[in-house]
Chain A
Amino acid sequence: MSDAAVKTKAPSEPLFSKKNKKLVTDPLTDNNPVTIQVLGICSALAITVQVEQGVVMGGAVLFVLILGNLIISLMRNLIPSRIRIIVQLVVVAALVIIVNELLKAFLPDVSEKLSVFVGLIITNCIIMGRFEAFAMANKPWPSIMDAIGNGLGYAGLLILVAIFRELFGSGTLYGFQIFGNSLPGEETGLYTLGYVNNNMMILPPMALIIVGIIIWVQRSRNKSLIEQH
């Protein structure tokens, strides 16, 4: 784990030292929050039907995680350990309310599609998990780095799954038609040759299967990640 390494940090360390860089880059690949740490799947997969929703959701989680890790890290010596879960929940809930109000104001369409899943960022295991494992024990700056790394790792996976599902499920990417117009009667591009969208990709279970395949590919490339029984 990369968490324990940072506890004994010299105060004069430069802001972008190797350790801090590692905090950002590790969760992007070999310590990805979704595929390796198994956190934050709860609210993630239902919204990966379109890339746009994935981007917005990833951005929202990144925002909440950075500010939350910063706040918890600043307060870490003031929080009594018995009630820390409640304190953490209140911090996340306040941040998620801000995100929800911002989305409603500036992106009403996406906010409507995400419906309850914005609220579910509160119980997203990534956020509570990073608070518990990192921000409670580390200084603010490494905590922000850790938040950026994990937030980006999460957003990256969401977008990757969404690319597969949107491209093969509806033939579009971020709303742009890639394979031509699929409306019956006015087909263009690939659809004139008889290509049909795979409606299976839009169904919820395919998100799980795609993540399963991503895990498969990742672990066969890096044998050290393989689980023993």
Chain B
Amino acid sequence: MESTLDIFIKAIFSENMIFAYFLGMCSYLAVSKTVKTAVGLGAAVIFVLTVTVPVNYLLENYLLKAGALSWIDESYADIDLSFLSFIMFIAVVASIVQLVEMIVEKFAPALYGALGIFLPLIAVNCSILGGALFMQDRQYSTILDATSFAFGSGIGWFIAIVAIAAIREKIRYSHVPGPLRGLGITFIITGLMGIAFMSFSGIKYGKDKPAEKTAVVKQTNK
């Protein structure tokens, strides 16, 4: 098993939301014109991911998964509601975004001023729903693992958008061929950054490999 820290590091670097899965590309391309707005949106994504994924984790494990309802009564053990997960997850994301917006507006007006315009956008950001769906797909064993995955993904997304915004600010002063200006060059730079980020896939996580090897050896010995 991977440790919680492994999941965290992996989510930031080798399984980066932008460079490995292209999640949240729409807002990534639209809001990366200046570093300041990029930082605002990145922070909002970290925040919302870290809040919604644990809630969706609880929902998945105590309501939706096959046999998840057995904590109410044994007779519910063979109910599988997982086909409802899309609609539940998106409802949770949309309502939590609304809730977070109201709470932040009430208790931290300064933060609301900084994040304000980005928060409603986030409900339809692919990376948030993507976080929930990856959590469901990979079946993390504890809520702590799921939270660290969400936090790591958020930080990975933040790094990606701040980096591209900084590059776009600089590239405004360079001579880019006309047809590539704006969108085209951003795509190609993102691709090159993605190739650079792939070098992180060589990181060895935890005690993964040795444990597997010994298991294989034991099996062959039998």
Residues of A participating in the B interface, judged by any CB pair closer than 8 Å: 35, 38-46, 85-86, 89-90, 93-94, 96-97, 100-101, 115-116, 119-120, 122-125, 128, 203-209, 211-213, 215-220, 223, 225-229
CA distance A42 to B194 in the complex (A): 15
In the complex, chain A residues whose CB is within 8 Å of the CB of B30? 38
B22 touching A215, Cβ below 8 Å: no
Chain B contact surface mostly: helix
CA distance A54 to B190 in the complex (A): 21
Residue of B nearest to A121 (CB): B86
Partner of B94, one of A38, A89, A120, A229: A89
- Chain B's interface size range is 35 or more
Chain A contact surface mostly: helix
B163 within 8 A of A: no
Binary interface encoding of chain B residues 131-148 relative to chain A, with 1 for a CB under 8 A from any of its CBs, else 0: 001101100000000000
B26 touching A42, Cβ below 8 Å: yes
B215 within 8 A of A: no
A96 touching B190, Cβ below 8 Å: no
B206 within 8 A of A: no
Selected interface stretch from B106-114, B149-157, B172-180: B172-180
B129 touching A122, Cβ below 8 Å: yes
Partner of A216, one of B94, B129, B180: B180
In the complex, chain B residues whose CB is within 8 Å of the CB of A124? 126
Selected interface stretch from B1-9, B37-45, B117-125: B117-125
Q: 4 new A-B pairs (CB below 8 Å) besides A45-B22, A205-B195, A215-B187? A: A42-B126, A123-B128, A213-B188, A228-B181
In the complex, chain B residues whose CB is within 8 Å of the CB of A205? 19, 190-195, 198
| 9 A-B pairs with least C-beta separation | A205-B194, A227-B182, A212-B187, A219-B179, A42-B126, A208-B191, A209-B191, A212-B188, A116-B133
11 contacts between A and B (CB under 8 A): A42-B24, A44-B22, A93-B86, A97-B84, A119-B133, A120-B129, A123-B129, A204-B19, A212-B185, A212-B191, A215-B179
Partner of B180, one of A44, A89, A215: A215
In the complex, chain A residues whose CB is within 8 Å of the CB of B130? 42, 116, 120, 123
Known: A116-B134, A208-B188. A216 touches B87 (CB 8 A): no
